[in-house]
Chains A and B, each alone.
Chain A
Amino acid sequence: MNQSLNDSMSQSIIESMSQYFACIFVPDFPVEALLCAEPELRSQSLAVLEGKAPLQKVFAVNKNARRAGVDPGMTRLQIEACTGLVWRARSLPQEAAAHAALLDCAQSFSPRVEAAGCDTIVLDLAGLEPLFGPLPKIARALARRASALGLETCVAVAGNPDTAVLAARGFSGVTVIPEGKEAELLGSLPVEVLLVNSACVQEPRQLLETFSRWGIRKLRDLAALPDIALSERLGQIGIHLQKLARGATSRPLVTVEPPLIFEEEIELDYPLMLLEPLAFLLGRLLEKLCARLAARALATQELRLCLELQNGCFEETSHVGMGHPSRPDRAQARSFQRILRLPVPLLDSRTFLKLLQLDLRANPPGAPIVKIQLAAEPVRPRAAQNGLFLPPSPEPEKLELTLARIAGIVGDDKVGSLELLDTHRPEGFRMQRFAPEPFSAQRHRDTEKNNSTFLFPISSSSSSVSLCLCGDSSDDLVTALRIFRPLIDVVVTMQDGKPARIACPKNKEMQGEISWVAGPWRSSGDWWEQEGWARDEWDIAVQGETGIALYRLVRDRLDGRWILEGTYD
């Protein structure tokens, strides 16, 4: 009974919302795509040029430039006379990134999203009211989310997708058109709105001239024309345009599933030669990437930085060379690639930036940079609930930064955790990345149960402490060997087949009569390979100034060399 009631309620909610669609429109999209990378230009007059020099023409302008008299189609020579005008070359990769960001913004609200154009996204609002609130609130939230991604947008909500698109293109800011008032509100828009990026109209200029001859300026004029007469003169296209003007169309959404590709890039006008401005640009890219990932409720575990260099020349294997086919003047350009792998999924642009800075400081590209590409591999975010009584462990973000900083001090291969190799060869281990696994609560409970007798407060009298430590006995202790790295060559005097005296030319503390000796312990291995080894080990005690020192003395049976491997401590 309850189930059926819930179903009917949700159905009614969906029905009440099913007629509403939102459209996100980015005016002057090429300009906005550039402003994403250079937001400081937003307050200035900006023109986007297209074409090869010197035949470049204005492709798009922002409001300030339009106010200054700059229009699309003007040549570069014409706009060079305008004072205070900034121009940039059109960047298709940045437009693609901005479009992807727009899709991410829409996807963060609804899974049913249509890409009506590179600058226009339509999304179905069915069922969103219980989640995000009333329609105006949803529209404002959409505009805010897009603004966080660096895009100034116009958002409109209407009962059908086409009306929402027209309202978004015609009205600035946030617009909500109630059901039944589509014709009334759309009526004030000019007819040009109908023909912008319209795929169904073959020759929009001719149609506009026709409307102009008929004296039709606004959509309400077109909506008021008689259907049959319009059909006789313009055909089906006329009827379709009139329906659009009345807000009476109805069509299903052509939904798209945007691929989970998170890439940002900047092509620089001038080559970068210092790390600080590069970090500034990387910070912007990372913020955008993180905002896009957050919009899709994702995190990343791998960042790929690709820097295109000017006349680069590399010998290191980590640098992957790639040509740039579209730019003949950069035929000698090489790319420098760094991959940042993280042990856990993270989503903190500051941490990423610091890690990249430390990595680039340790591994500089070595040539001026002309293009920056940054990509993030999306993964599900980490879902960990730490307990109050779990043992302390470093935060993954802080630990990564700390490890990167330590690697900058001692070297990459000198910090990490150990892995013992399956061999008896001395120094049979290798360093690996330190990534402590998260502690599971079950294991902790077991450990705590076993070690519960270990945790105790200090007694006021240490000499009278009497403890019973379960499972811990001093019989389990082992004598540690401290290794000399590098190994120390010594001269050994033999007597009765045993070492009787050692002398170390480099260290006078490590020489003298051997007062006690045990051995030899003979071992060998890897004889079937080129790097075979064979040795005799002796444990010796040498009386020194501070007391007796116990050493492990080794004779290499392959070359007859005597070495001190370490000291027992």
Chain B
Amino acid sequence: MSSIPLVSTAALGRPVAAAVPAWSTLVLERLSAMPKLAGVTPASRLEVRATPQMVPSGIREIDALTGGLPRGCLTEICGPASSGRTSILLAALAAATQRQEVCALVDISDAFNPHSAAAAGVNFEKMLWVRCGHLYKPDSPQSHPSALLRAGSVTEKNKKIEKPVEQALRVTDLLLQSGGFGLVIIDLGDTPLKMARRIPLTSWFRFQRAVEHTATVLFVISQVPCAQNCASLLLKVSGKKLSAIGCQHSAKTSPAHSQLLDGLQVQGELLRSRLDRKPAGSVTAAFTTKVRAG
């Protein structure tokens, strides 16, 4: 069969159709004649995935490193506590709300501080805050002694109290399916590692699929990478050591009450970027930024 070298030629991505059109036509005819390969699209005809539109993250250094936050993709920022993840989150939120986009924050541990957000410039009118940190038990018909109206399946459901992570996954699913949000943030920052790692990969795939071909930026902050291959952009941030933490005055020369936290120095590393078609881990760059105390 002479079709084997022909297929390999097409797979190499050479412009077969342009160079030898008659040859290419013959190949396609033979391929279509084979029942097993009739439905196979040649590699030369595969559509190139459109480059996503990038939006600014609100931090100059991150934009310089990554090109911004990609729409229709999942962006993950991971790092330990006090590494500056939430500051980046607020900067992205402020930038998005200032673009008049409707944003949603799924706050798993209910850790969002409105005063920090206001200082960062977040427009609260455009931000939906979902607080999942509290265990919520729907009003059960059994709680009323005279209750007779009930929805059959809900009775069993009411007995089950959802964990915050489960709540957050359901809420995120609803928000993404609803559509129209410019930025959806999942805050896993204080979620214990065990619980964060237990989030099934299928959930992340579903989220990625839901935002694909939409203008939504799905943004996740966590302690360790959770979304794995579903994240188009993965940044790791870390706070600098104690000596680098800014103080207005030295502790030795001034009394303690005159000292104030001046800010953090955040260092970040781009661990993965699937947007510029480079293998994971091949792009390594660092940024350092300074955030003042709010």
Contacts and interface: CB of A to CB of B under 8 A. Distances in A.
B128 A415 contact: yes
Given A398-B180, A547-B239, A420 B66 contact: no
B141 A474 contact: no
Given A391-B182, A485-B110, A520-B257, A420 B118 contact: yes
B56 to A, nearest CB: 4
Given A402-B174, A414-B131, A434-B128, A391 B256 contact: no
Given A275-B151, A392-B181, A463-B65, A483 B112 contact: yes
A459 B87 CA distance: 25
A278 B127 CA distance: 35
A473 B60 contact: yes
B134 A567 contact: no
Contacts of A458: 51-52, 54, 67-68, 70, 275-276
A547 B64 contact: no
Interface string A364-382: 1111110000000000000
Interface stretch (B6-14, B30-38, B260-268): B260-268
Given A462-B66, A463-B285, A568-B264, A550 B124 contact: no
Contact of A515 (B51, B128, B242, B260): B242
Where chain A touches its partner, the secondary structure class is mixed
Nearest to B151: A275
Contact of B54 (A401, A419, A457, A482): A457
B47 interface: no
Interface string B186-217: 00011000000000000000000000001110
Contact of A547 (B100, B110, B145, B238): B238
Contact of A485 (B133, B154, B273): B133
A273 B113 contact: no
B125 A437 contact: yes
Interface in A301-339: 311-313
B290 A363 contact: no
A117 interface: no
B23 interface: no
A541 interface: yes
A411 B130 CA distance: 10
Nearest to A278: B149
A276 B151 CA distance: 7
Interface string A442-459: 011001000100111111
Contact of A394 (B56, B124, B178): B178
Interface in B101-121: 101-102, 109-121
A476 interface: yes
Contacts of A391: 99-102, 182
Contacts of A393: 101-102, 180, 182
A478 B70 contact: no
B83 A569 contact: yes
Contact of A518 (B144, B179, B256): B256
Contact of B58 (A275, A362, A472): A472
Contacts of B16: none
Contacts of B120: 477-478, 480
A294 interface: no
Q: In this complex, which of A312, A418, A460, A498 has the most chain B Cβ atoms within 10 angstroms of its Cβ?
A: A418
Contacts of B215: 392
B119 A478 contact: yes
28 contacts: A274-B152, A313-B146, A361-B154, A366-B148, A368-B149, A391-B99, A393-B182, A394-B102, A394-B179, A398-B179, A409-B174, A410-B134, A410-B136, A411-B134, A415-B128, A417-B129, A428-B115, A436-B125, A455-B53, A458-B54, A458-B275, A460-B276, A461-B276, A465-B67, A480-B86, A483-B113, A569-B84, A569-B189
Given A392-B216, A415-B129, A481-B86, 15 more contacts: A274-B152, A313-B145, A394-B180, A410-B136, A414-B136, A451-B98, A454-B56, A462-B273, A472-B95, A477-B91, A479-B291, A480-B86, A481-B116, A482-B111, A568-B82
Interface of A: 272-276, 278, 311-313, 360-369, 391-395, 398-399, 401-403, 405-406, 408-411, 414-420, 428-429, 431, 434, 436-437, 439, 443-444, 447, 451, 454-463, 465-467, 469, 472-485, 497-498, 515-521, 539, 541, 543-544, 546-550, 566-569
